[in-house]
Chain A
Amino acid sequence: MKHPGEHQLALFAGGDIAGYWERWRISRHVSKCGDCQSEVRALSEASQQLRAIAPDLPADLNWNRLAEEMTGNIRVGLAAGEAIARFDRPVARRPRLGWNAALVLTCATAVFLVAFWMSLPQQQAQHLMAALQRIRVERIGALVKPAAAPQDEVVLEASSSSLDVRENDRTMSLTHPHSDVVTVSVSLHGSAGVRYVDADTGQVTTNKVYYAEP
């Protein structure tokens, strides 16, 4: 159902629709549509109210002057409303207390942690650090890169094909023939060794390289 336009309803309310069929069409719609009925009623009431004050209207009413006065009154009203609104507006409360409490709590926690750390025996502190490091590695899920060997440190390395001693950029390798039966051993006390069996002769050879602290 297509509603008549606002202008059509305004004209219909005062009986000013020009054509017969147009008037009939709008009248038929309005009789069935509650929204349009109330709109027409409101428009008619507005006209009736205007008609009611007609005898009181002075014949020489200067509308332009009246319009200026009304505009002035509206401006004054708006300014007054704004002034009042300024007083009514709730003052935004700064969350000072919350921030202060958070700051105090943070400082107290920091002091407690420092005091706790300083009161710990060195061994326990190291143990704690190691535990924290382990937790960190586990939680992150990544291996912590092993610390790069200092340049002047000696590295002993044994593999199925050679024994290597590396110091700085120099490497000494003790190679041996490839064999199926090779035992490689590396000691934490500064030695690396390899034991292999010669496939042709059955001879067992053991090579071991030691590193002694200078």
Chain B
Amino acid sequence: MLRSEHRAYLEEGLTFLTERERTALLLRDVEGLGADEVAEQMNCSKATVRSHIANARIKFRRYMERSRRQSGRKK
């Protein structure tokens, strides 16, 4: 898979998240902010941020798993 294709594939996975889940995930995993900093940025509690991050990671992981299974079936 080309780099641009891979990027498009990951971007597509992010579209399955809600806006707040996506923001929390990008701030935490991509920008590397701590949970308390993310909470401050998003103006919500740390518990809420953790919930958003957990949901986002699970959804994103499922998306990747589903895509892998579909591409395996095509082969």
Contacts and interface: CB of A to CB of B under 8 A. Distances in A.
The answer to whether A and B interact is yes
Interface of A: 6-8, 10-11, 13-14, 16, 18, 42-43, 46-47, 49-51, 53-54, 56-57, 61, 63-64, 66-67, 70-71
Contacts of A71: 15
Interface residues of B, number: 29
Contacts of A10: 53-55, 57-58, 61
Contacts of B58: 6-7, 10, 43
Nearest to A66: B15
A149 B55 CA distance: 92
Nearest to A74: B12
Contacts of B28: 14, 16
B53 A66 contact: no
Q: Which one of A11, A42, A67 has the highest number of Cβ atoms from chain B below 10 Å of its Cβ?
A: A67
A13 B3 CA distance: 25
B30 A43 contact: no
Contact of A63 (B10, B14, B53, B61): B14
A49 B11 CA distance: 11
Contacts of A51: 29-30
A42 B15 CA distance: 19
Contact of B61 (A11, A18, A42, A61): A42
Contacts of B3: 56
A45 to B, nearest CB: 8
B63 to A, nearest CB: 8
Contacts of B35: 16
A50 B7 CA distance: 9
Contacts of A6: 54, 58
B57 to A, nearest CB: 4
B6 interface: yes
Interface in B45-71: 46, 50-51, 53-55, 57-58, 60-61, 64-65
Given A18-B46, A43-B61, 14 more contacts: A10-B54, A13-B57, A43-B57, A49-B6, A49-B10, A50-B25, A50-B29, A50-B60, A51-B30, A54-B30, A57-B7, A63-B15, A70-B12, A71-B15
Contacts of B50: 11, 16, 18
A51 B15 CA distance: 16
A10 B16 CA distance: 17
A211 B57 CA distance: 109
B19 interface: yes
